[in-house]
Structure 1
Amino acid sequence: MKAMVMNGPGGPEVLVPSELDDPRIESPHAVLVRVQAAGVNPVDTKIRSRGPMRAATGPTVLGCDGAGVVEAVGTEVTRVRPGDSVWYCSGGLGGMRGNYAQFNLVDEALIQPLPAGLPIDQGAAAPLVLITAWEALHDRAGIRPGQQVLIHGGAGGVGHVAIQLAVAAGARVATTVSSAEKADVAHRLGAECAINYREESLIEAISDWTQGRGVDIALDTVGPEVFRQTIPAMALYGDLITILDPGPDIDLSEARLRNLRISLELMLTPQLRDIGEAQARQGWILSQCAELMERGQLGIHVSESLPFTQAAEAHRQLEAGGMSGKLVLRIDP
């Protein structure tokens, strides 16, 4: 099969085209997918620059997110069958199982039928960010109707789906953006309050929006400085979740005074630690998101689709920052 591989860490130029053996089904619960599109995520660029997250020998095929058509299934697979269109987050963490390739082997627990009417590039762009946002809002924070929620980076990959999931859960949403255009995007997604962090004070804007109370839930998708700035914007006993490492030097004294519950979210843990039950739940999360999509309550913004041979260019664009939505690689048949 054709694939884009890395033989060692480095810049985008380490991604090179290669010919690899087609994967073979060796497990009764495995699904062989002919990949049609792969999502590009920040974790891809980190693995490319630092090295695989899972120990492996030989080349690494990146790409956690994929969508395509089932080619063959193991003897005990019941959820999908050959010819079905599917989406999933699986592979891409080290070794030759990844989605920057024509085929990928996926465990049945992680795979779901593609939502009806969803274009294949949107299906490939969605799983990692959907599962991340769902786990942060539902599993970590226990989001409830009527709560006031702050989503940082509302036009970004995780941010733009987190806004929609929070609104679908009955919450009221504020978000941070970097431009008037991105504020318009956030409002269309359902955010009541869009704060341009380049022009406005986060604390003052949140205080005005919550009448001085602070937000019940905040999701940091940006990094340590934003995490620190968010603490005084929280309501007492609120939930502050980050998808990034908050750093070693953070002062949590104000968080303690507010009795905040602080959570870390990494949706890759079930794959990294081979936790079957958690992998099955992530498959269930995709099924719940599919229902929201089919009801018109959830959508995925793809900023650009590129041929998978341009994986290096996709990484350059992602690392440049400021992107709205997701990038996708289209896989040659």
Structure 2
Amino acid sequence: MRAITIPQSGGPEVLTWAEVPEPEPAAGEVLVEIAATAVNRADLLQRQGFYDPPPGSSPYPGLECAGRIVALGPGVAGWAVGDEVCALLTGGGYAERVAVPAGQLLPRPAGLSATEAAALPEVVCTVWSNVFMVAHLRPGETVLVHGGASGIGTMAIQLAKAVGARVAVTAGSAAKLARCAELGADVLIDYREQDFVEAVREATGGAGADVILDIMGAKYLPRNVAALAVNGRLVIIGMQGGVKGELDLGVLLRKRAAVAATNLRGRPLEEKAAIVAAVREHVWPLLESGVVKPVVDRVLPIAEAAEAHRAVEESGHVGKVVLRVG
């Protein structure tokens, strides 16, 4: 089969569509023929040499895919050859086929194409596990989503609104903020011109955000804590702004607030399976009813993976950049 390989670390130009060995599904796994995959910032970090795949996983980039089951490994129940699925991966989505643990499979939502479904697993599992399973966002609370126009941001807006929360977002252009508003965002903050701490306080009558979903890390840490409400919860899922920051424990104590940092790719199989099961129970009905929708900025052929990476690096997109494989 063929896959996007990374012969050496570097810019998008190092991505190479090449012949590679066919994967074999192990016990508890299925083999998926991939129709589409999507680009995540973790793929960019892997290409640059900063984020190696977990031991034993596929060496090829791609943390999610949609396609069709073509083979079952020993011990798999509840799935059949021919099922249309999408999947959360530890790697290998930029390929013609991938072996997937059965616990990380989801049925393709009714009414969605493979390219739309490919944009879902990573962002939906990330948002649900962090905003709802870690931070326990509740109806009536305010959540601040940094990078509201990103794949994760566009999904977080929709899911938070679906449960009755108020959503504030940051983004870097009027056009991106307008798109966030279309998805349901209530408070729009241009981080180039506004202090998000003051903007959130003003929007909440001085209370602050009950939950903050942060992709920036160190750069935003002190201001995120300042923006939290009493009993607020800050969840850090990215390090685009660095890895080492200063945390004022006095402020955290006075607010009785919490800071959590999580990732998804390196979790044990049973934890990923639990997240996927929760997503299937709580989010899939919202997708199939049209309350929540995947946001796809553009679809490119897999041979143009380098161009897709450039688009994500330039942050000119809204939602997901999808690669068509089949």
TM-score of the alignment, normalized to the shorter chain, above 0.5: yes
Gaps of 5+ in 2: none
Equivalent residue for 1:331? 325
Equivalent residue for 2:300? 306
Equivalent residue for 2:264? 267
Deviation at 1:56? 6.3
* Aligned counterparts of 1:249 and 1:215: Cα–Cα separation in 2: 20
Aligned: 1:252 with 2:248: yes
Equivalent residue for 1:10? 10
1:63-78 matches, cutoff 5 A: 63-78=62-77
Equivalent residue for 2:82? 83
Spell out, residue by residue over 1:116-137, the C-alpha distance to the aligned partner (whole angstroms, 9 max, x if none).
0111112111111111111111
* Aligned counterparts of 1:79 and 1:191: Cα–Cα separation in 2: 38
> Would the aligned equivalents of 2:53 and 2:90 in 1 still touch at CA under 8 Å?
no
Equivalent residue for 1:163? 157
Deviation at 1:53? 3.0
> Would the aligned equivalents of 2:298 and 2:320 in 1 still touch at CA under 8 Å?
yes
> Normalised by the size of structure 1, how large is the TM-score?
0.91
Aligned: 1:278 with 2:271: yes
Aligned: 1:220 with 2:217: no
SS of the residue corresponding to residue 269 of structure 1 reads coil
Aligned amino acid, residue 119 of structure 2: A
* Aligned counterparts of 1:256 and 1:182: Cα–Cα separation in 2: 35
Spell out, residue by residue over 1:209-268, the C-alpha distance to the aligned partner (whole angstroms, 9 max, x if none).
111111111111233223332221111121011112463232323333322100112111
Gaps of 5+ in 1: 93-97
**CA-based RMSD:** 1.8
> Normalised by the size of structure 2, how large is the TM-score?
0.93
Instruction: State the percentage of identical aligned residues.
Output: 35
Aligned amino acid, residue 89 of structure 2: S
Count of residue correspondences: 321
SS of the residue corresponding to residue 44 of structure 2 reads helix
> Would the aligned equivalents of 2:2 and 2:19 in 1 still touch at CA under 8 Å?
yes
Distance verdict in 2 for CA 1:248–1:201, change over 3 Å = closer
Spell out, residue by residue over 1:128-174, the C-alpha distance to the aligned partner (whole angstroms, 9 max, x if none).
11111111111111111111111111111111101111111221111
* Aligned counterparts of 2:128 and 2:56: Cα–Cα separation in 1: 30
